[in-house]
Each structure stands twice: as structure tokens, then as C-alpha cells.
Structure 1
């Protein structure tokens, strides 16, 4: 029975995305954003359980990508669409559909990931969960500056464009696939997770953009460290 646990968690990821879309359609942006967080938790543990129970399967991999497309591609697009629809001048209201560039580039990113043998131990381009978590921070933040940015359609459109680019960029980023839990092999991952946790505790949702930036920085440092003579981690 344990071999079905990863796929069950993946389905929970998918259902979280579906519920989030319904909540956005009903005007509950906060609820939709929290569904991204819940989906990310299920997404993390489905991979962890698959490795723990040696329950990898081709169907599981495809199911994971399809679920991620809904929860981390379509759902964050709906959040941006809802924000843009409320603030765009009537003459430019159709620009709100630019939000779905995130869904389109997420689909491309996931399709590339499925056939790219270089991405077994690291990611190339921003992972879709990180992209979605970045978007989720917008409705959840009560920081005045963030609230001002949410009401600036130029910022939101630029965010969509930058996020879409990062999804399919050639930036090499850490994957949180643990082959053993020792410090030496995982020091960059553990350090990143600890600092991120501290930032979230101190800053709440406003920490998310900082965590994404930290993720990129740590990934670059990890790559540089491994490229140094005599280094490996």
C-alpha cells in the first residue's frame, strides 16, 4: 500500500490547485494563495515519500507534472489576472490576460524538465513551485509597499514577464532531493532552509521574495563551490 502514498499526495497537490482556482473565482484571493502553499507542501512530500518508499514510477512523474501545472501554473495566473482585472483602465482591460503567460511558460518549463536529463540533481530555470509561491505573497502581504505594488498594473505586468523568463532561463538552481541527510553533502540546502525559516518567522509573507532571491544566490554559490578545485558538495 505504501507505494500509492506518493501518488495520493500528488493528487492532493492537484486538488489544492483546483480548490484555489475556485476560491479565486469567488473573489477569495487569500484563500487561493494559501492553496498554493498547501499544494507546495504536498508537492514536497510526494517526492520525499517516493524516494523513502522506492516508489518511483513513470505514471507518478507524469502525474506530478500535470498537478504542478494546475497548482503552480494556472492558479498563480488566476491570482495575477484577478489583480489586474480590478485595476486596469477599462480601455486596457484585455491586458489582464497577460497573466496567463505564467501558465504558458510553466507548461514549457515542465515539459522541458520531463525530457531534460541534466535536471536529475538540479534545476535549470526557476521551478514552478518557487514561481507560484512568489505570486502567492502578493495577496497575503499587509505591508503598505506591497499593497501599493499590487495596485500598480505596470509592476504586475513586469512581474509576469520576469517570472515567465525565469521559468525557462538557463540559471542552474538547487533541487531539494536528498541523497542522505549528512551535513557535508547538504550544507548549502540546510543553510538555505534555516535562513529561509528565520526570514519567514521574522517577516511573514513579505519574506517570500527574499527567499526566492536567496534561493538563486545559494544555488549560484553552490555551483561555484563545486566548480572550485578539490571541492564537492
Structure 2
């Protein structure tokens, strides 16, 4: 029975991801953000609970991946999809597009490339489950990082009318979709957020990133998340962590 306690926490992650999708499709972006915030905490907590109870199972690992696929794979794809539809329709951001209108359905094909993020997230999660090199750092961008970027764009649209107009442009959304789809399955090593002790040695990039992220949050608040992810990617490209060798 103890093994089902962390599984229940994982299911809460899945529930919050599903609820976020409903909110996104209804253009209720702020509630969607809070559901995703809760999903992230449940995703973190299930591992803590499993270690505290000293339980582990293959069933739990598979369930965790399925929940992550929804919360951190389908959710960002839905965000891009809805933002592309909003940018293509003349309806204001406060009103949902009328999907019974043939013109709106026609524009749905215009937004279809957003779904590639879900496909590449699935490839990413399958790769992560089998790749023994990712025990300390990541190879490619993790699905939660991809989701933070998409959520950041959503929050800009919800809270900043001026910047939101620019975010809804295809010149921003299409490159974002392509870049995240590539980074999810790339072979670029990316540092994790696990500290190697609390000293500077071995944690230099993590501390630099944390300092820049805090400054961006102070300056930009809810608009900071896409820029924070951008800094994370650039730091890893300029100062990549040492990646583990692939298994023989």
C-alpha cells in the first residue's frame, strides 16, 4: 500500500495537467498557470515521498512519465496552439475564437505546427527513461523547462497588453516551436539544478544562472520566464557541463 502513496501524488500531477489544458482552451491563462505550478510541485514531490517511504516500482516510473507527458508535453503544445489561434483571429484575447466558424477551423491548420512540441516531448521522455547518461545532468532540454518557456509566453499575453501583441506574432511563435522541439531531443548537455554541495567549485554555472534569473524576475516579474529559459540555454551552449559518455 505504501507504494501507492507516491503514485497518488503522481496522479495529482496528471490531474493538474488535465485541468490546465481545460483552462488554456477556455483562455483562462492565470488559472492554467496555477494548475501547472501545482503540477510541477507534485512532480517534484512524488520522488521525495517515494524516497521518504523507501518504495520504488517500475509501475511508478511509467506512471510518472505518462503524467509528465500530459503536464509537460501536451500542455505546452496546447499553449502554442491557442496563442497561434489568438494571433490569427481578430477576436480580442479576452474572448475565445468561435470554433463553429469555418474560418476559425481553417485557421486551426495554421496553428497545427504547435502540436510538434507534444511529439518531441514524447520522444524526449522515452529517451530520458532509457539514457543512463542523464543521472547527473540532462542531454537536451527537459520537458519542464520547455513548459516554463511556453507558460512564460502565455503569461505575457495574459498580463502585458503591449508585449502580448508581439508574442502572438508567428515570427515569435513558430521559431519558438521549432527551437524547443529541437532542443528537447538534441544531444547538447544541459546542467541540472542539483547542487554539488554549497561551494562555488562545480556549481559556478548554476549560481550565475540563479543570480541572473532572480534579477530578471525582479525586473520583469511574470514576463521573465521566457528570458530565464533563454539564459539557461545560452549558458549551456557557452559553458556546457561535462556529459557522461554514451553506454557501450
Place the TM-score, normalised by the shorter chain, in its bin.
0.7 to 0.9
- Residue 140 (structure 2) aligns with: 125
Deviation at 1:147, TM superposition (A): 0.8
Please, what TM-score do these two structures have when normalized by structure 2?
0.77
1:191-202 equivalence runs, <5 A: 191-202=208-219
**In structure 1, C-alpha distance between the alignment counterparts of 2:212 and 2:165, rounded to whole Å:** 27
- Residue 43 (structure 1) aligns with: 43
**In structure 2, C-alpha distance between the alignment counterparts of 1:145 and 1:94, rounded to whole Å:** 26
Partner-residue secondary structure (3-state), 2:224: helix
Deviations 1:48-88 (A, max 9, x none): 44445443332222111111100011111111111212332
Among 61, 74, 96, which residue is 2:111 paired with?
96
Q: Name the structure where helix makes up a greater proportion of residues.
A: 1
**In structure 2, C-alpha distance between the alignment counterparts of 1:201 and 1:84, rounded to whole Å:** 29
Partner-residue secondary structure (3-state), 2:56: coil
Distance change >3 Å, CA 181–CA 7, structure 1 → 2: farther
| Aligned residues of 2:146 and 2:180 also touching (Cα < 8 A) | yes
Q: Which runs of 5+ in 1 are unaligned?
A: 228-233
Distance change >3 Å, CA 33–CA 98, structure 1 → 2: farther
- Residue 98 (structure 2) aligns with: none
1:65 aligns with 2:82: no
Deviation at 1:188, TM superposition (A): 4.2
Among 94, 108, 121, which residue is 2:123 paired with?
108
1:211 aligns with 2:221: no
Instruction: Indicate the larger mover: 139-148 or 65-74.
Output: 139-148
**In structure 2, C-alpha distance between the alignment counterparts of 1:166 and 1:52, rounded to whole Å:** 33
Instruction: Indicate the larger mover: 164-173 or 185-194.
Output: 185-194
Please, what TM-score do these two structures have when normalized by structure 1?
0.82
Distance change >3 Å, CA 170–CA 195, structure 1 → 2: same
Deviation at 1:138, TM superposition (A): 1.5
Query: Deviating runs (4+, > 6 A) in structure 1?
Result: none
Instruction: Indicate the larger mover: 167-176 or 1-10.
Output: 1-10
Deviations 1:151-188 (A, max 9, x none): 3123212211111111111111122346x754356554
| Aligned residues of 1:34 and 1:136 also touching (Cα < 8 A) | no
